[in-house]
Chain A
Amino acid sequence: MLSRSDIEKKCKIIIRQVIGNGDLDIQNGHSLINDLGLDSVDFVSLLLALEDEFGGTIDDEASSQIITVNDMINHIELELKVAEME
């Protein structure tokens, strides 16, 4: 399974791809909307890109809990653990 550090790196690459800014400084505590400036279309695009990268689906309930970069990493890490156990 991917390490947390690898998940973090991949998540940040995906955020930069969605926003179109390869140099964006991203901190784990950053809010995706308030700090990094994602709009609603960007946010949905981000969910699609995360599913494409890591597999699985992020349903509405789960996505509503993703506020910060850290929330996103936590969610992916948990999903990968569950998938591995299955």
Chain B
Amino acid sequence: MRRRVVVTGMGMICPLGTSTHEIWQNSLAGNTFVSTIPEEWHHYSDMKSNIWAPLPEIDFVMKGVPRVDLLRNDKVALLAFLAAKEALQDAGYQISPTEIDKNIFHISDLEQSRTGIYMGTAVGGVSTLIHNHSHHLLAKTKNEIKQLDKTSSVNNKVMDRLRQTPVPNRFNPFVIPMLMPNAVSAYMGIKLGITGPNTTTALACASGTAAIGQAYEAVATGVVDFALCGGSEYLHDDGSSFRGFDVAGTLVRSSLEPEYANRPFDVNRNGFLFSEGGAAVLMLEDYESAIARKANVYAELIGYAETFDAHSMMQPAENSVQCKKMINRLSEQANVSIAEIDYINTHGTGTKLNDQVEANLIENMFPHGPWVTATKSLMGHSIGASGAIEAAITALSIHNQTTHTCRNLETPIADLNFVRKKGTHQMEIGLTQSFAFGGHNTALLMKRL
């Protein structure tokens, strides 16, 4: 018999803030924090887009990351760990350093062997690899220039640029464990002493959603009693990942003030807002145990479904056959009619084709007019973390009976019930969906308790 699964804690970091409370308040206020990309990136390439959503300053050590961990772990793992700590504390667990090793933490009253960690990331520690690759290619050359400069300095712009190119002092001996995607869940497990199933899923932009879906299944079927799940991404790699999306023509190009450029579902949208990264972690547990320990419950997770387009590596199938199948499966699994779904947190990237296909899908499948919003209109697209952030926003929305607006939506591309201003809304069942490069479609369904 399947068990009921509830969300009892959450932790988040993204361009809107470094805690769930801060991010939720900024979301409700319709805030966005967009800036131009670092100046030096323009030296490397003529980018078509020049704006992004950077992360706030994060003092990792102050937030409990041992200093030495900053040197031997990619920030994709550190962000996930901080979000996990917040989720555990939010769920009512005390976290304290162990006596034997202050770099490792103990969680009071949590059975670590009955807890699983299910995380998603699109590219893991790619920024570490790229950073170290510059050392691999250039460190010897830069050293030779330094030696030459001692006798006869060659002065021209090209040489100056090479002198200024950031190259780390050493090729980090931890580069392999830093870059491997599974370091995201592994680091969390090591730091928190959690010994249940530990997996990292890579489904590009759907990674976080898929990871929560896997965790939901594991708790529902009794594989584990508790699960920390979500997604993490960190893409500050001297502009390489940004360039990858830029050269593919997927990023927002701004002729407006930066904060008005990103506009999912608007007729004048022209691409997605690249986010430096982020992480969101949800604490899932069996409903009975949550009630027994009087835990705060944000929402009940009542379904997860995924399908695959088998169509294109970069574009959604325009007929949405597989997306429709996914939503139907979700409805059947949760024993909820589609007409009962009254909130949809869209994938809503702001790219031309994706938004049009998604709007058509919603128009076709949800004629009853549920509330529709796009979290990426505020915080940009954090790739593998985005689905988890949007799942957290979905839980908060139905829990608080309010949600954020679709920022910058002036002329919608479809006649959907877009959230245009903050207010109290009746929302009992919420859907959050993510679509990914490769053709992966994923969705979660949540119910208000």
Contact = CB atoms under 8 A, between A and B. Distances in A.
Given A44-B174, A51-B170, A57-B170, A20 B71 contact: no
B293 interface: no
Interface in A21-45: 21-22, 44-45
A56 B169 CA distance: 7
B101 interface: yes
B157 interface: no
Interface in B128-177: 169-170, 172-174
Contact of B71 (A52, A55, A56): A52
A60 to B, nearest CB: 10
Contacts of B71: 45, 48-49, 52
A57 B169 contact: yes
Nearest to A45: B68
A22 B100 CA distance: 10
Contacts of A55: 169
A17 B174 contact: no
Contacts of A49: 67-68, 71
Contacts of A51: 169-170
Given A48-B71, A48-B72, A49-B71, A21 B173 contact: no
B104 interface: yes
Nearest to B97: A20
Contacts, number: 40
B64 interface: no
B66 interface: yes
Interface string A48-71: 110110011100000000000000
B170 A20 contact: no
B192 to A, nearest CB: 14
B449 to A, nearest CB: 40
Given A51-B169, A56-B169, A17 B66 contact: yes
B72 A20 contact: no
Interface residues of A, number: 16
A17 B174 CA distance: 17
A61 B246 CA distance: 44
Most buried by A among B71, B97, B101: B71
Given A44-B174, A56-B169, A57-B169, A22 B102 contact: yes
A49 B69 CA distance: 10
A18 B68 contact: yes
A44 B172 CA distance: 10
Q: Is the interface of A mostly helix, strand, loop or mixed?
A: helix
Contacts of B174: 44, 48
A65 to B, nearest CB: 17
Contacts of B172: 48
B103 interface: yes
A21 B102 CA distance: 6
A18 B174 CA distance: 15
B72 A19 contact: no
A20 B401 CA distance: 44
Contacts of B66: 17, 20
A20 B173 CA distance: 20
A45 B72 contact: yes
Nearest to A19: B101
A22 B102 CA distance: 8
Interface of B: 66-68, 71-72, 97, 100-104, 169-170, 172-174
Interface of A: 14, 17-22, 44-45, 48-49, 51-52, 55-57
Given A20-B100, A21-B102, A49-B71, 13 more contacts: A20-B66, A20-B97, A20-B101, A21-B100, A21-B101, A44-B174, A45-B68, A45-B71, A48-B71, A48-B174, A51-B169, A55-B169, A57-B170
13 contacts: A17-B66, A17-B103, A20-B100, A20-B101, A20-B103, A21-B100, A21-B102, A22-B102, A45-B68, A48-B173, A48-B174, A55-B169, A57-B170
The 9 closest A-B pairs by CB, nearest first: A20-B103, A20-B101, A48-B71, A20-B102, A44-B173, A57-B169, A57-B170, A45-B68, A18-B68
